[in-house]
């Protein structure tokens, strides 16, 4: 299917945060896209709250971060408190990031900010448009969409299902969604409180009655998340929230009024494959898990951050099969780790076993003071520690790369960045020039902020690095790129 035969390049199904972020990335990159959404407007629910430093860095590279910083309540500490006793207090201020905090932004605000940015870039959402089915054909995909009762056909190069936990795209592809469910329901409530607890600290409260977490949305507004064995009514009342807080929360907090509340059931599931030919799934369509840890939306946003540049290169006829396949190879290990960690946390915080509780309450105060634990905790929660070691398109640890030249939306796009330290060696200079000439559309030389050679991918991860600036290392870069670039 030629570009002229297609209605669009990428059909994005679902305008939740993940679909909206992908649409923004398409708009920034000049990729044609259609973003269809079955609802008639964005959801008004505040659901996911926490935006972690690595997601803020991705927003920064995508030119979107400013309004999120203005809207956010900044959290810089996490406390573990049980029965009035502080088991741990950990600073959360990762020094290596320009965003050393968790940005608390209600999901409806996140969606609004992403939509506003998309509209500024000339894009929009097609509301009242439901993805029905699709099939590959003619070198692309033909999709059927119900647009306010009328069935229309769309031709695209790729379809990305960002259509949430009940994803029609996932069902179409027959991708098993394996995992399990938590036995209890979860209570979620946004409440106005007194100022008894600090507004920059998140509290995790383990309890034999089930875990409870308190996320500060402002000095006085809190998001309460707790498991609940016996839900009462259609939505949690202020009275029920107060009882749950009295049983499990620090005494200092007092719930004064209720903004919004809901019950929900949680599963921990993920697909075994994120891609089938020209179809991809991302976000809740691909993985769902416990809200303790607040990683759900962040993981979805980083799925599409990983995918967007690969689709961009594919549409410019520069992506080899290995590049598209690497989306799943890189994201699935991250997804499994997030599900494993949040599952462990949910179980440990709510264990009914007295022995396990005693062990937990004895171990947390000791371990949480240890520098290696604090470092690992910050790396994990901030998502700055995510790396793509073992990826077929990476050599070495695949760590995050950051310098200020990446920021602002124009710092990094479809090109890999080749950072090379100074060399006086003529063969090495010639090898660098020949490498840049070999990949004129996908490789760009950038003044180094480090010594040696660093090859940075368009999503700010290191594909290759060498402490030596020599022709052999540059030859390595060439063969690595040849394996992934068509
Ligand atoms: C009550 C609740 C509380 C939560 N709390 C937290 C939290 O504290 N922290 C956290 O990280 N996560 C939380 N989550 C999860 C978080 O909301 C999700 O991870 C996040 O919304 C995922 O974004 P998404 O874009 O992948 O999917 P969604 O936000 O589900 O968006 C999918 C979109 O696709 C649309 N759609 C579906 N089918 C079709 C179709 N066939 N055609 C067109 N459009 C379609 C839907 O209408 C929807 O707008 C919570 C979820 C719920 C329900």
Alpha-carbon distance of 434 to 431, in angstroms, equals 5
Nearest to 439 by CA among 379, 479, 380, 391: 479
Instruction: Give the integer Cα–Cα distance in Å for 325 and 409.
Output: 26
Distances (CA, A) of 432 to 398, 406, 411, 435, 484: 22, 21, 21, 5, 19
> Which pLDDT score is estimated for 448?
66
How many residues comprise the chain?
486
User: Are 13 and 149 contained in the same domain?
Assistant: yes
> Any idea what DSSP says for residue 319?
B
Q: Report which of 333, 286, 281 is spatially closest to residue 307, judged by C-alpha positions.
A: 281
Residue 358 lies in a domain: no
Query: Where does a domain end: 206, 235, 265?
Result: 265
Crossing angle between the packed helical segments 107-120 and 17-29, to the nearest 10 degrees: 20
Q: Are residues 36 and 125 in the same domain?
A: yes
Task: Give me the pLDDT at residue 450, please.
Answer: 67
Find the domain containing 199 and state its range: 183-265
Do 440 and 479 lie in a common domain?
yes
Ligand 1 atom closest to Cα of 186? 1
In a domain, 75, yes or no: no
Alpha-carbon gap, residue 62 to 329, rounded angstroms = 23
pLDDT at residue 65 tops 80: yes
Q: Is 160 helix (H, G, I), strand (E, B) or coil?
A: strand
Query: Higher pLDDT residue, 395 or 181?
Result: 395
The count of domains in the chain is 3
Q: What does the CA dihedral 31, 34, 37, 41 come to, rounded to 10 degrees?
A: 80
pLDDT > 70? residue 20: yes
- Give me ligand 1 centre to Cα 228, in Å: 21
| CB count in 10 Å sphere of residue 430 | 12
Pocket test for ligand 1, best of 12, 14, 41, 301 (most atoms within 8 A of CB): 14
* 24-34 pLDDT, tens digit each: 999 999 999 99
Most ligand 1 atoms within 8 A of CB, residue of 20, 21, 38 to mutate: 38
At 352 the pLDDT is 73
Ligand 1 binding pocket mutation candidate from 115, 228, 291 (most atoms within 8 A of CB): 291
pLDDT of residue 449: 61
The CATH number for 198's domain is 3.30.70.2450
Are both 260 and 275 inside the same structural domain?
no
Judgement on whether residues 274 and 261 belong to the same structural domain of the protein: no
Side-by-side strand order, sheet with 102-104: 50-51, 102-104, 73-75
Q: How confident is the model at residue 22 (pLDDT cuts 50, 70, 90)?
A: very high
- The pTM for the full model equals 0.95
pLDDT in tens, 143-187: 999 998 999 999 999 999 999 999 999 999 999 999 988 888 889
> Using an 8 Å Cβ cutoff, are 99 and 68 in contact?
no
Lowest pLDDT segment from 173-182, 185-194, 358-367: 358-367
Question: Would you say residue 361 lies in a domain?
Answer: no
Local confidence band at 361 (pLDDT 50, 70, 90 cut-offs): confident
**β-strand 73-75 against 102-104: which pairing, if any?**
antiparallel
Does residue 369 carry a pLDDT above 90? no
In a domain, 463, yes or no: yes
pLDDT above 70 covers a percentage of the chain that reads 98
Q: Are residues 113 and 19 in the same domain?
A: yes
Tell me the CA–centroid distance for residue 52 and ligand 1, in Å: 18
How far apart are the C-alpha atoms of 326 and 277, rounded to whole Å? Answer: 13
Q: pLDDT of 284-309, one tens digit each?
A: 999 998 777 778 999 999 999 999 99
At residue 281's C-alpha, the angle toward residues 54 and 131, to 5°, is 125
Does residue 350 carry a pLDDT above 70?
Answer: no
Mean per-residue pLDDT, 247-272: 93
- For the chain, the straight-line distance linking the first and the last C-alpha, in angstroms and rounded, comes to 18
Q: Output the six-digit token pair for 382.
A: 């901030």
3 state DSSP class of 256: strand
The residue to which tokens 């097609």 are assigned: 126
Residues with CB under 6 A from ligand 1: 13-19, 36-39, 47-49, 107, 130-131, 162-164, 168, 188, 262, 264, 283-284, 291, 294-297, 300
Which ligand 1 atom minimizes the distance to the CA of 145?
42
Closest C-alpha residue for ligand 1 atom 2:
47
- Could you write out the DSSP letters of every residue in 377-424? HHHHHHSTT---TT-TT--S---B---GGG-TTSS-SSSEEEEE----
Instruction: Give the residue-averaged pLDDT of 437-453.
Output: 86
**Ligand 1 atom closest to residue 169's alpha carbon, by position in its atom list:** 41
42 with 154, same domain? Answer: yes
| For range 456-478, the mean pLDDT | 93
What is the C-alpha to C-alpha distance for residues 105 and 98, in angstroms, rounded to an integer?
Answer: 18
171: DSSP letter: H
Q: Whose CA is nearest to atom 35 of ligand 1?
A: 14
The alpha carbon of 43 and the centre of ligand 1 are apart by a number of angstroms equal to 9
The answer to whether residue 266 scores a pLDDT higher than 80 is yes
pLDDT for residue 277: 96
CA dist., res. 332 & res. 326, Å (int): 10
Short-list 402, 400, 377, 375, CA closest to 388: 400
CATH number at residue 122: 3.50.50.60
Question: Is residue 427 a contact partner of residue 471, using CB atoms and an 8 Å limit?
Answer: yes
Q: Are residues 156 and 293 in the same domain?
A: yes
- How many beta carbons lie within 10 A of that of residue 226, not counting itself? 29
Task: For tokens 């980083």, name the residue.
Answer: 302
* Domain boundary pick from 265, 296, 322: 265
- Residue 388, domain member (yes or no): no
Task: Please give the share of the chain, as a percent, with pLDDT higher than 90.
Answer: 72
């Amino acid at each position: 299917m030629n570009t002229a035969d297609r209605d669009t390049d990428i059909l994005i199904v679902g305008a939740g945060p993940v679909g909206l972020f992908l649409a923004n990335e398409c708009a920034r990159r000049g990729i044609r896209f259609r973003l269809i959404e079955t609802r008639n407007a964005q959801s008004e629910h505040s659901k996911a709250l926490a935006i972690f430093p690595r997601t803020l860095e991705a927003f920064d590279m995508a030119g979107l971060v400013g309004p999120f910083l203005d809207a956010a309540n900044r959290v810089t500490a996490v406390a573990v408190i049980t029965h009035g006793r502080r088991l741990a207090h950990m600073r959360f201020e990762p020094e290596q990031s320009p965003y050393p905090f968790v940005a608390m932004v209600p999901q409806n605000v996140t969606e609004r900010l992403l939509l506003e940015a998309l509209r500024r870039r000339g894009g929009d959402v097609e509301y009242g448009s439901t993805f029905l089915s699709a099939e590959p054909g003619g070198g692309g995909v033909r999709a059927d969409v119900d647009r306010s009762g009328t069935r229309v056909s769309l031709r695209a190069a790729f379809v990305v299902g960002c259509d949430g936990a009940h994803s029609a795209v996932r069902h179409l592809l027959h991708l098993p969604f394996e995992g399990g469910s938590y036995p209890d329901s979860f209570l979620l409530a946004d409440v106005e409180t007194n100022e008894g607890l600090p507004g920059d600290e998140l509290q995790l409260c383990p309890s034999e009655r089930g875990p409870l977490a308190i996320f500060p949305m402002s000095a006085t507004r809190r998001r309460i998340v707790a498991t609940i064995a016996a839900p009462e009514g259609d939505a949690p009342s202020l009275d029920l929230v107060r009882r749950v807080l009295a049983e499990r929360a620090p005494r200092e907090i007092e719930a004064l009024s209720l903004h919004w509340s809901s019950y929900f059931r949680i599963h921990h599931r993920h697909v075994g494959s994120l891609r089938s030919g020209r179809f991809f799934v991302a976000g809740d369509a691909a993985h769902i898990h416990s809200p303790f840890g607040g990683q759900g939306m962040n993981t979805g946003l980083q799925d599409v951050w990983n995918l967007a540049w690969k689709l961009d290169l594919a549409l410019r006829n520069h992506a080899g099969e290995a590049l598209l396949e690497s989306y799943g190879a890189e994201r699935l290990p991250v997804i499994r780790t997030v599900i494993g960690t949040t599952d462990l946390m949910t179980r440990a915080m709510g264990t009914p076993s007295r022995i396990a509780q005693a062990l937990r309450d004895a171990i947390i105060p000791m371990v949480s003071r240890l520098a290696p634990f604090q470092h690992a905790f910050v790396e994990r929660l901030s998502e700055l520690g995510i790396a793509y070691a073992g990826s077929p398109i990476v050599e070495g640890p695949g760590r995050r790369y950051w310098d200020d030249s990446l920021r602002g939306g124009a710092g990094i796009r479809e090109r890999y960045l080749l950072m090379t330290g100074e060399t006086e060696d003529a063969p090495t200079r010639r090898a660098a020039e020949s490498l840049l000439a070999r990949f004129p559309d996908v490789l760009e030389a950038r003044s180094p902020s480090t010594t040696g050679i660093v090859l940075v991918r368009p999503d700010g991860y290191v594909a290759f690095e060498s402490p030596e600036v020599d022709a052999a290392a540059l030859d390595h870069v060439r063969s690595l790129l040849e394996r992934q670039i068509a």
